[in-house]
């Protein structure tokens, strides 16, 4: 199954002790993937390095183990791909393609601002998948900033309204794990 993960990291290799704001028991429950079967969404919010992508990949691997078709894509790449398809008059096929995986993981919403066309195309995809397919989204920005990310409060609200209707929102507070590893290695003082 083509998941296209940026790296392969499992939930077993996640150090929950390092990130006490995450409820390990809850993640364990989510690893059963009932939420995938139900077409629900998981949103992982928090600053860089706290393990959002690691958890998204770990949950994606659990979904694949249970036979769910899963696709991982960065928000920027997803929007670029939709915009390209739109410009080449094949948006319909592209939207269908992104609706096929039972689980779609969209990583890193919020690092790069999204233009008007991008926001519009992203909304179309969310509408298509609404109450059909499950999604994981990760973002370094709180929901209150999504209007800025999408350059339009109305579109951002419409997106969040659908995404959050059947969703588990996990907000991670804490130190970057990348930083911790550097500190341990004595690379920073
Ligand atoms: P984010 O997506 O939140 O910026 P990542 O998930 O990419 O962060 O994590 C950064 C790196 O640190 C990755 O290599 C990841 O595997 C590792 N990492 C982060 N948090 C943990 C953790 N609690 N236990 C083990 N590894 C972690
Ligand atoms: Mg990440």
Say yes or no to pLDDT of 140 above 70.
yes
* pLDDT, the chain, mean: 95
Determine the average pLDDT of the residues in 136-145: 97
Q: How confident is the model at residue 47 (pLDDT cuts 50, 70, 90)?
A: very high
Q: Go through the domains of the chain in sequence order and give each one's CATH number.
A: 16-184 (3.40.50.300)
Largest CA distance in the chain: 54
Indicate if the pLDDT at residue 62 is higher than 90. yes
CA neighbor of 48 nearest in space, from 151, 186, 172:
172
Quick check: CB of 18 below 6 Å from ligand 1?
Answer: yes
pLDDT reported for residue 98: 98
Of the bound ligands, which one is closest to the alpha carbon of residue 47?
A: 1
From 10, 74, 139, 177, give the residue whose CB has the most ligand 1 atoms within 8 Å, as the site to mutate: 177
pLDDT value at residue 184: 78
pLDDT value of residue 94: 98
Average pLDDT estimate for 69-85: 98
| Contact assessment for residue 101 and residue 72, using Cβ atoms and an 8 Å cutoff | no
15, pLDDT greater than 90: yes
């Amino acid at each position: 199954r083509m998941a296209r993960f940026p790296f392969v990291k499992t939930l077993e290799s996640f150090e929950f002790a390092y990130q006490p704001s995450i409820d390990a028991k809850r993640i364990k429950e989510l690893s059963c993937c009932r939420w995938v079967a139900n077409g629900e969404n998981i949103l992982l919010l928090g600053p860089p390095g706290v393990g959002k992508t690691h958890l998204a990949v770990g949950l994606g691997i659990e979904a694949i183990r249970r036979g769910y078709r899963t696709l991982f894509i960065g928000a920027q790449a997803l929007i670029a791909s939709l915009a390209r398809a739109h410009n080449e008059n094949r948006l319909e096929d592209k939207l269908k393609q992104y609706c096929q995986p039972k689980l779609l993981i969209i990583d890193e919403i919020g690092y790069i601002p999204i233009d008007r066309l991008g926001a519009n195309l992203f909304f179309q995809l969310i509408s298509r998948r609404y109450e059909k397919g499950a999604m994981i989204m990760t973002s370094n920005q709180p929901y209150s900033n999504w209007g800025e990310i999408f350059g339009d409060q109305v579109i951002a609200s419409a997106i969040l309204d659908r995404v959050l209707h059947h969703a588990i929102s996990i907000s991670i507070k804490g130190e970057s794990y990348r930083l911790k590893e550097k500190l341990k290695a004595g690379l920073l003082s």
